[in-house]
Each structure stands twice: as C-alpha cells, then as structure tokens.
Amino acid sequence: MKSKSQSLLPWFNVSFYLGVTLSMLTGGFLIFEIVNNGNWFVESLLGQFGLGLLLIYFSGKPMIDERIRLLKFKGLAIGFVITCFSATIVNYIITYPDGNQKNGISSYWFVLICLLIAFISFGILKTRE
C-alpha cells in the first residue's frame, strides 16, 4: 500500500535543485552588486539567498528516517535560539542611543544567519549521533 507522502517525492527532489539555483543566482547578483555598485547589503537578495538555503535544508526524501528528521529539527532549533539571543544583543548595541532603533539587523539577516547555523549544527549533530 502506498502512502500519501509518495506524491511529495517529486517536490522534495525539485526543491534541492530549486534551492541551489536560487542560492547561486542571488549569490551572483550579490557579487555583481559588490563589484559594480560597492553595495553588499541588498536586503531583497539576502532574503532570496535565505529562501534558497531553506529549500536546500528541507530537500530530500520526505523524512523517511526519523533520526534525520530529529537532527534537522535540532539543528534548526539551535540556529534559531543562537540567532535570537545574538541578534537581540547586536541590535541593542547598534541601536542603543536611538529610541526608534533605526539601522538594526533586518529579518533577512536573521533568517540567513539562522539557516547557516542550522546547517552547521545539523552537520555536527549528524557526525556525533
């Protein structure tokens, strides 16, 4: 008997390639912005890069292995907690004198840092367990 998750298999295989493509394109556009305009801080490109990383992170077969599912969740949770605390402290330091908190870390940076830490945490957890 086939499970309902069989229909999701093509999406999970496609999401890896879509994530790699999106990450490579936005990485190229970020390099283009740095070279041509000297601007490395383009919010929309950083957000799209984070989305590409998210697609890569959750790609693969639909969580057949419970161990991998748990490790991906742990990695994402560790990344979220570390990023929450560090981003709050950094935002406070950057915007301390300003009551309106201008020029702080955006949500795009938050997502990008969270996913990078999640990838690293998942790799470490996978080798340890």
pLDDT in single tens digits along all 129 residues of the chain = 444 555 545 556 677 888 899 899 998 988 998 898 888 777 778 888 888 888 888 776 655 677 777 888 888 888 888 888 888 788 777 777 765 556 677 777 888 888 888 888 888 888 887
Global pTM reads: 0.62
CA 21 to each of CA 17, 28, 71, 79, 95: distance values in angstroms, whole numbers, following the listed order: 6, 10, 25, 23, 35
